[in-house]
């Protein structure tokens, strides 16, 4: 993915950067169980795990490195990040309230022998960095699971600090 234009980052809002990429945020996905899709504790916003939903259906299923190609894994992580941003917007209203994306955690369902986890998760990181600019520069953690809920290839959690 191309690095965002420095002038665009300096003069635009996260919502404008989404629009510049042609992204319309979906309605924030609801929970699949007895939990909240996001929680704010003090100035820390934590999303629950986000799937690669598109129009209420999983856009990708299966194992990365077998039925899900590395290219599709990148796209699935990017789509999960779009859903995470929708959760963040639902929580704070204005994405400009995000002071810092602190961490992205990606859990992936991978085939034996798949080792390009970081490149797949870049689908989420590249989008977050593009939308939030310097405030999007984050730490991250990768996990793998032998079985994922709904046979999803990726589950993404985002932690963010909110301005007052």
Mention the CATH class of domain 6-162.
alpha beta
Count CB atoms within 10 A of the CB of residue 9.
19
Largest CA distance in the chain: 45
Q: Of 99, 162, 156, which is closest to residue 127 (Cα–Cα)?
A: 156
For residue 21, the SS3 value is: coil
Please report, for the chain, the start and end positions of each structural domain, with discontinuous segments joined by +. 6-162
pTM for the structure as a whole: 0.93
Query: What would the pLDDT profile of 87-131 be if each residue is shown by its tens digit?
Result: 999 999 999 999 999 999 999 999 999 999 999 999 999 999 999
């Amino acid at each position: 993915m191309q690095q965002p234009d420095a002038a665009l980052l300096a003069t635009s809002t996260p919502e404008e950067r989404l629009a510049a990429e042609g992204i319309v945020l979906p309605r924030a996905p609801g929970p699949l169980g007895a939990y909240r899709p996001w929680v704010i504790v003090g100035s820390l916003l934590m999303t629950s795990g986000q799937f690669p939903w598109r129009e209420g259906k999983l856009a990708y299923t299966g194992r990365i490195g077998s039925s899900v190609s590395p290219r599709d894994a990148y796209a699935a992580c990017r789509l999960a990040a779009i859903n995470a941003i929708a959760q963040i917007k639902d929580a704070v209203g204005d994405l400009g309230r995000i002071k810092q994306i602190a961490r992205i955690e990606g859990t992936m369902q991978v085939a034996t022998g798949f080792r390009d986890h970081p490149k797949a998760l870049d689908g989420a990181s590249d989008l977050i960095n593009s939308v939030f600019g310097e405030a999007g520069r984050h730490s991250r953690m990768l996990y793998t699971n032998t079985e994922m809920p709904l046979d999803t290839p990726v589950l993404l959690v985002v932690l963010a600090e909110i301005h007052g």
